[in-house]
Structure 1
Amino acid sequence: MITENAAPRATASTPTRPAPAGGAAQLVVLALGFVMASLDTGIMNVAAHDLQARLGLTMSGLTWVVDGYVLAFAALLLLAGSLAKRFGARRIYLVGLAVFTAASLLGAAAPGGGALVAARFAQGAGAALFMPSSLSLLMNAFPEPARRAKVLGIWTAIVSTSVALAPTVGGLLVGTLGWRSIFLVNLPIGIAGLLLTRRVIAAVPGTGAPLSGTGHVLGLLALGSLSYALIEGPAAGWAAPGVLAAFVVTVLAAAGFVVRERTARTPVLPVTLFADSRFSAANAVGFLFNFAFYGALFVLGLFLQTGRGADAVTAGLQMLPAVLVIPIGNVLYTRIAPRTGNRAALAVPLALSAAGYLLLFLILSPTLPYGVIAVVLAVTNIGSGISSPAMTGVLMEAAGREHADIGSATLNANRQVGSLVGIAGMGAILTGAGDAYQGTGYAFALTAVALVAAAVVGWLGVRGRR
């Protein structure tokens, strides 16, 4: 049976300790993986045009350079969570960091589009391995609920800052050092993460629980085919044979997964998790939150260019107020959650964010100054910054240390699918609208509806909990 070290067998809730380390060191180390992945994703969006020109990529090839990562990441999340539970969270976290770092080196050295797509798939696989494990390790490093709420807010703020700065960093790297530098920048972060994790993060021995091979294959098929359909649908058409086939595979695999879970002796998702309304609520909120946030961000970028005539650089700068405030909300969470509990910290900011998008739907017009849009979005996304760590906090409370790995993987999978559905849905609204203002207004209205639904689910699902 594989565990994270050669020490005598311990339970999953009894981590073994390396050399003593301060809480701040543990927090920063566990954020490194997320920072690396967040930077990579944001930078890739900025570098896409240069990549296409330098490597002679077709639009289809460019799409898979960007989305191959998403497909591998979403498809492998549930398997990654189970691997962390079986073999130990730190071991799988380190494997994920190593895979991602090595794939970044391969991406930097890629001679052509095919090799680059393969490297991006490998990066997605690495990210799927370390993301669920990082939250599990964070929970073990900070077991006290009050302190963990503060740490979770700071950790989220670090990651959110990297997301906000990624486009600017990407533009500087591509403009000064060329596209290969966007992969090379991951190397020092990945190597530092590998070395420091072994030094300051406690090893959590695996439980040795058997893997559900059939269940994971069905889960991988369902998530992978759904992601493929949502990625290809907007470009190929929703009635394209490949897209329809992917949806059929999704339905069949998902149905098989549900049947298998109900009868399996070793289910992928323990039944006890879904018996807790907090777990179901956190996952539903995760889907709706990402649907709204990333769908609206996608619409905003297009609107500033097609509706208001900004060029790509100007549009990127004008979007900064919508994203730079998110770390402020993350830090506010550290002060709010210990006093109100995660229920209020989750539901109330979601409702306020919904009000902001509803306001934009009502007042959006060609005469509306950019400054008004920027202020409304800034205030709105402070709410998003508070509710995001609250959502994670609810899930971690429900999953507990025993199921932290698979619980985190489930939330990440739901959020990833929510992002894909949100972008596809908002894109369909823009396509069917009469003009940019009408389409953006309708998209903001849909965003408000999704956030209201998330607020209601969060309030009711976390009922009676602090």
Structure 2
Amino acid sequence: MNTSTLSSRGTLLASALGLVIVLLDVSVVNVALDAVRHQFATDVSGLQWVINAYTLVFAALLLTSGALGDRLGAWRVFLVGFVVFTLASAACGWSSSLPALIAARLLQGLGAALLVPNSLAMLQHAFPDREQRNRAVGWWGGMGAVSLAAGPVLGGLLVTHLGWRSIFLINLPIGLLGICLTLRHAARVAGHQRTIDWAGQAAAILALAALTWALTEAARLGWTHVRVLGSATLAFIALAVFIGIESRIRAPMLPLELFRRPTFVIASAAGVVVNFAYYGLIFVFSLFFQIQQHLSPQMTGLAFLPMTVVLIAVNVLAGRLIARVGPRVLMVLGLLLAASGYLLLMPVSIGGSYGYLVLPMLMSASGIALMVPTMTNITLSSVDASRAGVASGVLNSARQVGGMLGVAVFGYLVRDTAPTPFMHGMHLSIGLAVVLLLGGSVLCWRGIRPDRINA
């Protein structure tokens, strides 16, 4: 094996490890919610912040991170991301209070945002041959999917046998290995001049943070509280300022002309809906299994196993079906399948058998797995090749925002953990997910047209 091949493979492993720890922390924390609740004597709002602090910064900084990598060099920004994520993971594991844990999760989100887009840029430099690059990206995505699927099971085992802090400390050896591989193998490609939209970035962070605060704290303070109303108002003002900035500057972080393409808009909206339903209900079912059914973290992780395993298998299948049945059919089928699976979960009760949940969980996860690669394909096909990176970043940001809002809204509905109000809120959450997914299926059927793809 020559030096060039070794460096390429080392870069691939470093890039994949960056994605692995990012996606691992998306899914692993849910099975530790009850342990964190008891450790810090917190409520559902506190648990929402543990989840959403990470997602908030991750979603808000994804687009700027890619531009920063272009300017400073992807390997530099990726390396900083690994260092930040690893140190933040240590801070999470050693947190002595809930505010300290939330602050460390915010730093983890920063590290995640620096890692993901620049890991792909590193692969582009390491594999100039298109066929080799496609295979490398396939391995990159496959390792990420495995980590996302393994998160709940691994988290359950760690929390049960080593305590909740171990789900963060497990990132330390992965992070150190990733840092070493990056320093040893990543190509030192110089950056190039690119304007960073700092004003737009600041407005986007303010809008998302204010909206998240309003939705999360409404569970504690109520919707009519002056701070909740003030935060919601601030979110709308910041959003208006953000749109104004993006419409006027020469190099915006979010080119608004993308939203003149109906197919791109529909794919982004579908991304919001899918993650809203999926991550919101993962949060709710994590609380249901641990607080209402009193399952251990290990058993909670195993309870999610049918969903996580099918995500990998159907993701692979979806890539092969797109060309055969078309993206519109696959999107609508996925949305309807997920809606049907969640609809079958409506009769769930505290004393019910777990066996009844397996088929609906398989159906809902299969539907979502059909949609994720399909909406990515639609997004990239609906814009010019020169805008593919930005369009992909917008879709990923939209999905992260959807997941954040899902946890915030559904967390509000199950904020009272007493059995009767919790189950009422859980049924409302499932019903809302079904309605949104059905609405998304109608939107995709009416709005996705073959003549609007490959524009």
TM-score (norm 1): 0.80
Counterpart for residue 434 of structure 2: 448
What's the CA shift for 1:92? 2.3
- Cα distance in 2, alignment partners of residues 42 and 104 from structure 1: 15
What's the CA shift for 1:57? 6.1
Q: Does structure 1 residue 381 correspond to structure 2 residue 365?
A: yes
- Cα distance in 1, alignment partners of residues 433 and 201 from structure 2: 32
Counterpart for residue 144 of structure 2: 159
- Cα distance in 1, alignment partners of residues 261 and 409 from structure 2: 30
Counterpart for residue 409 of structure 2: 425
What's the CA shift for 1:379? 2.7
Q: Does structure 1 residue 294 correspond to structure 2 residue 279?
A: yes
Higher mean C-alpha displacement, 284-293 vs 91-100:
91-100
* Matched-pair contact (CA < 8 Å) for 1:333–1:386: yes
What's the CA shift for 1:252? 0.5
- Cα gap change, 1:234/1:415 in structure 2, threshold over 3 Å: closer, same or farther? farther
* Matched-pair contact (CA < 8 Å) for 2:30–2:282: no
Give me the identity figure in percent: 37
- Cα gap change, 1:431/1:65 in structure 2, threshold over 3 Å: closer, same or farther? closer
- Cα gap change, 1:78/1:198 in structure 2, threshold over 3 Å: closer, same or farther? same
**Aligned pair partner of 1:463 in 443, 450, 455:** 450
* Matched-pair contact (CA < 8 Å) for 2:90–2:169: yes
**Aligned pair partner of 1:125 in 110, 130, 145:** 110
- Cα gap change, 1:150/1:205 in structure 2, threshold over 3 Å: closer, same or farther? same
Q: Does structure 1 residue 392 correspond to structure 2 residue 376?
A: yes
- Cα distance in 1, alignment partners of residues 87 and 430 from structure 2: 40
SS of corresponding position for 1:325: helix
* Matched residue type, 2:394: T
- Cα distance in 2, alignment partners of residues 360 and 304 from structure 1: 14
SS of corresponding position for 1:211: coil
- Cα distance in 2, alignment partners of residues 142 and 160 from structure 1: 21
SS of corresponding position for 2:223: coil
Question: Could you report, residue by residue, the CA deviation over 1:410-441 in whole angstroms, capped at 9, with x for unpaired residues?
Answer: 22332222123223333455579976666544
- Cα distance in 2, alignment partners of residues 117 and 368 from structure 1: 34
* Matched-pair contact (CA < 8 Å) for 2:31–2:286: no
SS of corresponding position for 1:20: helix
What's the CA shift for 1:315? 4.4
Q: How does 1:138-287 map to 2 (within 5 A)?
A: 155-197=140-182, 206-287=191-272
Q: How does 1:326-341 map to 2 (within 5 A)?
A: 326-340=311-325
- Cα distance in 2, alignment partners of residues 374 and 199 from structure 1: 45
* Matched-pair contact (CA < 8 Å) for 1:83–1:92: yes
* Matched-pair contact (CA < 8 Å) for 1:76–1:125: yes
* Matched-pair contact (CA < 8 Å) for 1:283–1:410: yes
* Matched-pair contact (CA < 8 Å) for 1:149–1:334: no
- Cα gap change, 1:61/1:359 in structure 2, threshold over 3 Å: closer, same or farther? closer
* Matched residue type, 1:463: P
Q: How does 1:330-369 map to 2 (within 5 A)?
A: 330-340=315-325, 342-361=327-346
CA RMSD of aligned residues (A): 3.8
What's the CA shift for 1:133? 2.9
- Cα gap change, 1:264/1:207 in structure 2, threshold over 3 Å: closer, same or farther? same
Higher mean C-alpha displacement, 310-319 vs 442-451:
310-319
Q: Does structure 1 residue 105 correspond to structure 2 residue 90?
A: yes
Question: Could you report, residue by residue, the CA deviation over 1:153-194 in whole angstroms, capped at 9, with x for unpaired residues?
Answer: 664443233233223323333444444433331122122223
Question: Could you report, residue by residue, the CA deviation over 1:187-211 in whole angstroms, capped at 9, with x for unpaired residues?
Answer: 2212222333456666665442212
* Matched-pair contact (CA < 8 Å) for 1:85–1:405: no
* Matched-pair contact (CA < 8 Å) for 2:22–2:112: yes
* Matched residue type, 1:395: T
**Aligned pair partner of 2:397 in 409, 413, 428:** 413
What's the CA shift for 1:136? 4.9
- Cα distance in 1, alignment partners of residues 7 and 335 from structure 2: 34
* Matched-pair contact (CA < 8 Å) for 1:80–1:409: no
Counterpart for residue 71 of structure 2: 86
What's the CA shift for 1:42? 3.4
- Cα distance in 1, alignment partners of residues 252 and 150 from structure 2: 40
What's the CA shift for 1:292? 1.4
What's the CA shift for 1:231? 2.7
* Matched-pair contact (CA < 8 Å) for 2:153–2:305: no
- Cα distance in 2, alignment partners of residues 62 and 366 from structure 1: 21
Unaligned runs of 5+ in 2: none
Counterpart for residue 306 of structure 2: 321
What's the CA shift for 1:248? 1.1
What's the CA shift for 1:63? 5.8
Counterpart for residue 15 of structure 1: none
Question: Could you report, residue by residue, the CA deviation over 1:29-48 in whole angstroms, capped at 9, with x for unpaired residues?
Answer: 43322221232343333345
Question: Could you report, residue by residue, the CA deviation over 1:31-86 in whole angstroms, capped at 9, with x for unpaired residues?
Answer: 322221232343333345545666x5655776655543333333333432332343
- Cα distance in 2, alignment partners of residues 431 and 107 from structure 1: 24
What's the CA shift for 1:360? 4.1
- Cα gap change, 1:376/1:65 in structure 2, threshold over 3 Å: closer, same or farther? closer
* Matched residue type, 1:213: W
* Matched residue type, 1:68: A
- Cα distance in 2, alignment partners of residues 94 and 232 from structure 1: 35
What's the CA shift for 1:377? 1.7
